[in-house]
Amino acid sequence: MEGYTSWKRGVYCLALIFFPAAISICSRACECSNAERPCEYLRADVVFVGRVIETLQAKHFQDKGGYSPGYSMRFAVEESLRGRLGAEVHIETGGGGGDCGTPLEAGAKFLIFAYKEKDGTLWTGMCSGNRPLTGDPRLDKVVDEYRSLIAAGRNSIFGRVELVSPVWRGDEVDDGPEKPARDVVVHANSRKLNATTRSTDDGWYQFDQLPDASYTVAPEIDKGLDFDREYPDRYVAQLRGGQCSNISFKLEPNTRITGRVTTSAGVQLKGIEITAIPARLKDIHDFSGKWDLLDENGRFDLWPLPAGNYYLGININNSPSAESPFPPTYYPGVTDKNKATIVRVQKQDVKELELKLPEVAKPRTVHFVATGLDGRSMSKIYIQIEDLCHPGDASSYVNVDLDEKGAGTLTIYAGYSYHLHGSHWVSYGNDWCSKPVVIPAGTAPVDARFVMYRKDVSCVISETDNQRK
C-alpha cells in the first residue's frame, strides 16, 4: 500500500466529501480531492472502531535523518473490521495543517482507516476517511455499510473517460472543455481474468464483482488520441476484500512534437529541459511554453500540444546554467532566433525532430565577498542569478559557503549581463537582502561585493530590482 501512504508527510491530501461531518476536522491548509465512493477508503491496511485513550506529541524520524513533529495516538479497539489487532493499537499522524495530520481528542470514538509502513508502523491522516462516531444511529450506520462491503468481499473498478482538447491560456497549456467519451471499450486484466466493459453516455464505466487480484486498466482508443502514460501505476488497481478503485482517463488529440537532442560537447543531456513556445508569444518568461525533460538518450515528447506554430529549443525561455550550460538554441540548432525554423503542427500531427546543440556557453567566474547587516563577514549566502535578457526571473540560484573573510565564488556565463541578488535567512520574516550586484556582459573574471542593507520576509527580485514584467 506504499502508493497510498505518501501523502501523510506531504502538503496535499484527499478531501472527505463523502463524509460531510468529517470535513470540519480538516485544516484549511490541507486540501483533499474527491472520493466518489466509500469503498475507496478500504484501500487502508487496517480498519477498526476504537476509542482514543491518549494522544501524545511525538517525533517521527525520517529515513535520511531529521524528524517531523507529530502525534502518536493510542486506541482501545472495540471492533476490527480489517487487519489483526489486539485490544489496543498505536496510530501515528502528523502535526496537523499542511502535513495532513489529524491528532484526535482522548475519549472520542472513531471509525479509523490506517496505512502500514514497511516497518509495521500504522499511520492515519485527515484524508484517510476517518469518521467520528457520536452514538447517533443516523450517522453511525456508516460502520454497518463497511461491515457489509468487507463481508461481501467483492471488488470493483470504476471511472470516467473524457475527451479533452488542449488550449493555450496565456503562455501555458491547459485543458479545454471536457465532454464524456461514450461507448469506449475498457479492459481490466489480471493474471487470471480479462474483463471488458464500455463507457456509458456520460462517460462512466464500471467493473463489479471482481475477485481479489491486481488489475491493469486500459481503454481502446483511436490512434489519433492518447492519454497520459507518465505514471503507469495510476492505471493499476490491487484489490482485496471489498475494495474499489477509481481509474479515469482523459483522452486528448495525439498532437505532439517528439524527437532527440544531440551534442558533441560531452555534456550529460538527461534532465535538461526542452521547450516549445508558440511563435505568436511575445512576453516570454521561464515558465512559458510546453516543456519536457530529456531522458538518458536525449529523447523528448512534448504532449499534449494544441495545433499551431512553435519555436523549439533549449534555454529559449531561460538562461545558461550549470544544469543546462547552453546558450539559447533553437531548432534545428541555431542561436539566432531569426534563423530558427518554426515547427508547424496540425491537429493529431506527430512531428519527429532532431535538435543539434553545436556549442556550450562559456563559463565566467565571479569572485565576491559578502557583508551582513551586522557589518561582519558572512559565513554563507544565497544568490539568485538574474539574466537581464529575462528581467524579473531567477535563471538559477546557488547557496555558497564562504570562508572566514566572507569570500566565495560562483559561475555565470560569458556574453550575458546579470543582476545577482544576495540574501541570507536569519529567521521568519527577517531575511537579509543585498542590493543587486550589476555584472555587464563580458568574458573576464569579475570581482564583486554583496552588502546586506535591509530585512524583509523574502528578498523578491521584482521588489529589490524594480524590474516588473
**Phi, psi values for residue 446, rounded to 5°:** -125, 140
Grid look-up 491560456 returns 169
CA 392, 393, 395, 399 torsion: positive or negative? positive
- Residue 152: which pLDDT band, with cuts at 50, 70 and 90? confident
Please state which CATH number belongs to domain 155-253.
2.60.40.10
CA 148 remoteness from chain centre: 36
Q: What is the mean pLDDT of residues 15-31?
A: 40
Instruction: Tell me where in the chain the CATH 2.60.40.10 domain(s) lie.
Output: 155-253, 256-357
Residue 207 has pLDDT above 60, yes or no: yes
- Tell me if the bond preceding 38 is cis, omega within 30° of 0: no
| pLDDT tens digits, 415-466 | 999 999 999 998 888 999 999 999 999 999 999 999 999 999 888 887 666 5
pLDDT tens digit sequence for 315-357 = 999 999 989 999 999 999 999 999 999 999 999 999 999 999 9
Cα separation of 360 and 79, whole Å?
66
Q: Please give the grid coordinates belonging to residue 301.
A: 515528447
Whole-angstrom Cα distance, residue 234 to residue 232? 5
Kindly report the pTM of this predicted structure: 0.77
Return residue ranges of the chain for CATH 2.40.50.120.
2-151
Strands (E), 299-445: 299-302, 308-314, 329-330, 343-345, 350-357, 363-371, 380-387, 396-401, 407-413, 418-424, 431-434, 437-439
Question: What integer pLDDT is reported at residue 29 of this predicted model?
Answer: 56
Grid cell of 369 as nine digits: 565577498
Q: Which three cell numbers stand for residue 6?
A: 505518501
Taking the domain 256-357, which CATH number applies?
2.60.40.10
- Report whether pLDDT(22) > 70: no
Percent of the chain with pLDDT over 90: 74
Q: Report the alpha-carbon distance of residue 300 to residue 260 in Å, rounded.
A: 6
Per-residue model confidence as pLDDT tens digits over 78-92: 999 999 999 999 999
Mean pLDDT, rounded, for 50-74: 90
User: Superfamily assignment of 363-465 in CATH?
Assistant: Carboxypeptidase-like, regulatory domain (2.60.40.1120)
Say if strands 244-246 and 155-169 run parallel, antiparallel, or are unpaired: parallel
pLDDT of residue 464: 60
Gap between the Cα atoms of 424 and 411, Å rounded: 19
Stretch 218-247: mean pLDDT: 95
Fold of the domain built from segment(s) 2-151: OB fold (Dihydrolipoamide Acetyltransferase, E2P) (2.40.50)
What's the mean per-residue pLDDT of the chain? 89
Q: Is 5 exposed, middle or buried (0-12, 13-18, 19+ CB in 10 A)?
A: buried
C-alpha pair distances (Å), 138 with each of 21, 23, 129: 12, 17, 18
* CA–CA separation, 259 and 297 (whole Å): 10
CA distance 315 to 285: 11
